[in-house]
Amino acid sequence: MSQESTEPILRVRGLHAAIEGSQVVDGVDFEVPATGITALLGRNGVGKTSTIKAIIGLIQRTGGTIELAGERIDKVPTHKIIQRGVGYVPEDREVFSALSVAENLKLAERDEHPNRQLVEELFPDLVKRSSQAAGSLSGGQQQMASLARALLNVNKLLLVDEPTKGLAPKIVQEVAEALTVAAHSVPILLVEQNLSVVRQLAAGAIILSGGKVVHRTDSATNFLDDEALTQRFLGVQSEEALEQAAETTSGGIV
Ligand SMILES: Nc1ncnc2c1ncn2[C@@H]1O[C@H](COP(=O)(O)OP(=O)(O)OP(=O)(O)O)[C@@H](O)[C@H]1O
């Protein structure tokens, strides 16, 4: 049996990044373990997407260091970071609308050994729709196609930004299940607003506020159970508190 690596796959130190001159990532420090799913959490507009984009070089990095598997990537351009094994599933899915599902997948293949078997097992619906224009897929199907494109390649790390946003509960569950399977073979840094998905998937969590890390935990579940912390950093009550409130309310209805 292979020994699990204890070295983090990603080390971010003092990362600063700017959009049009304004500092949106303001000295961020965190590590992503080499296995499992790590959640990147925070209220709207705190810099989660910007942090992901800065890691991959899609917005201007203005300071700090980023190491992928021990190698600096903070001066490396996006296409080379992707070649080095970082898969990116953007928030808005970004499929090529006019191209078929099969063409979208083909374009994502980085070498001659794409992991088609995994993708076909995970997303049988996409196989059925391989000749359909990607732009005519539902939001959930487009999310599957976007995930499938990242999973076709062997990656050291996946960056997945709000994969369940705007999806129906049944599809949210399908996406969560696909991520669970994906995480068996690749560590994932996941931006996710759906806290029951975070609870289901994430081992640790990093919480941002105002472009900075304000809290880190090895147990996303413990964090989500803590009403004071979730209220303070996410502006929501813990799910437990919400459930209790719902029970009290429904108890009062005859
Ligand atoms: N293209 C842009 N031009 C100017 N400002 C931007 C741009 N994109 C993001 N910002 C600003 O950068 C800050 C961080 O945004 P970012 O999208 O990273 O936050 P987020 O935590 O991912 O938010 P959300 O949960 O709403 O997606 C916000 O203040 C936002 O208004």
Quote the CA–CA distance of 159 and 87 in Å, as a whole number: 6
What does the mean pLDDT of the chain come to? 89
Provide the pLDDT confidence category of residue 118 given band limits of 50, 70 and 90. Answer: confident
Assess contact for 59 and 50: CB atoms under 8 A: yes
What is the model's pLDDT at position 251?
43
Give the number of the atom of ligand 1 that is nearest the alpha carbon of residue 193. Answer: 25
Tell me the per-residue pLDDT of 207-232, one tens digit each, with 9 for 90 and over.
999 999 999 999 999 999 999 999 99
Cα dist from 140 to 143, 146, 184, 249, whole Å: 5, 10, 22, 33
> Residue 123: inside a domain, yes or no?
no
Short-list 41, 65, 22, 63, CA closest to 161: 41
How far apart CA 142 and CA 218 sit, in angstroms, is 31
Q: Give φ, ψ of 125 to 5 degrees.
A: -65, -35
Task: Check whether 73 has a pLDDT greater than 90.
Answer: yes
Q: Is 119 inside any structural domain?
A: no
Residue 106 lies in a domain: no
- Contact 210 CB / ligand 1 (< 6 Å): no
9 close to ligand 1 (CB < 6 Angstrom) = no
Residue from 15, 20, 48, 50 whose mutation best tests the ligand 1 pocket (most atoms within 8 A of CB): 50
Q: How far apart, in whole angstroms, are the C-alpha atoms of residue 181 and residue 73?
A: 27
CA of 149 to the centre of ligand 1 (A): 25
- Burial of residue 165 (number of CB atoms within 10 Å: 0-12, 13-18, 19+): middle
**Ligand 1 and 21: CB distance under 6 A:** no
Is the CB of 155 within 6 Å of ligand 1?
A: no
Q: How many Cβ atoms from other residues are within 10 Å of residue 170's Cβ?
A: 8
Q: Which residues pair with 12 in a beta bridge?
A: 30, 66
Distance 49 CA to ligand 1 centre (A): 7
In this structure, the residue with its CA closest to atom 3 of ligand 1 is 19
pLDDT confidence band for 246 (50 / 70 / 90): low
**Ligand 1 contact via 48 beta carbon (within 6 Å):** yes
CB count, 10 Å around CB of 195? 20
Whether residue 142 lies inside any domain: the answer is no
CATH of the domain at 61: 3.40.50.300
Residue 145 lies in a domain: no
Ligand 1 proximity of 20 Cβ (cutoff 6 Å) = yes
Can you give the chain as a three-state secondary structure string?
A: CCCCCCCCCEEEEEEEEEECCEEEEEEEEEEECCCCEEEEECCCCCCHHHHHHHHCCCCEEEEEEEEECCEECCCCCHHHHHHCCEEEECCCCCCCCCCEHHHHHHHHCCCCCCCHHHHHHHCHHHHHCCCCEHHHCCHHHHHHHHHHHHHCCCCCEEEEECCCCCCCHHHHHHHHHHHHHHCCCCCEEEECCCHHHHHHHCCEEEEEECCEEEEEECCHHHHHHCHHHHHHHHCCCCHHHHHHHHHHHHHCCC
Dig out the tokens for 238 from the structure. Answer: 């813990």
Q: How confident is the model at residue 239 (pLDDT cuts 50, 70, 90)?
A: low
Q: Are 93 and 134 in contact (CB under 8 A)?
A: no
pLDDT at position 240 is 58
**Is the distance from the beta carbon of residue 19 to the nearest atom of ligand 1 less than 6 Å?**
yes
Q: Kindly state whether residue 160 falls inside one of the protein's structural domains.
A: yes
Is 59 within a domain?
yes
How many folded domains does the chain comprise?
1
228 in any annotated domain: yes
The per-residue pLDDT for range 141-169, each reduced to its tens digit, is 999 999 999 999 999 999 999 999 989 99
User: Domain residues for 58?
Assistant: 10-92+156-245
Give percent of the chain above pLDDT 90. 75
Ligand 1 atom closest to Cα of 191?
22
Give yes or no for residue 1 having a pLDDT over 50.
no
- pLDDT at residue 235, as a whole number: 86
Pocket test for ligand 1, best of 49, 53, 195, 208 (most atoms within 8 A of CB): 49
Distance CA 176, CA 170 (A): 10
pTM of the model: 0.89
Q: Which residue type occupies 235?
A: G
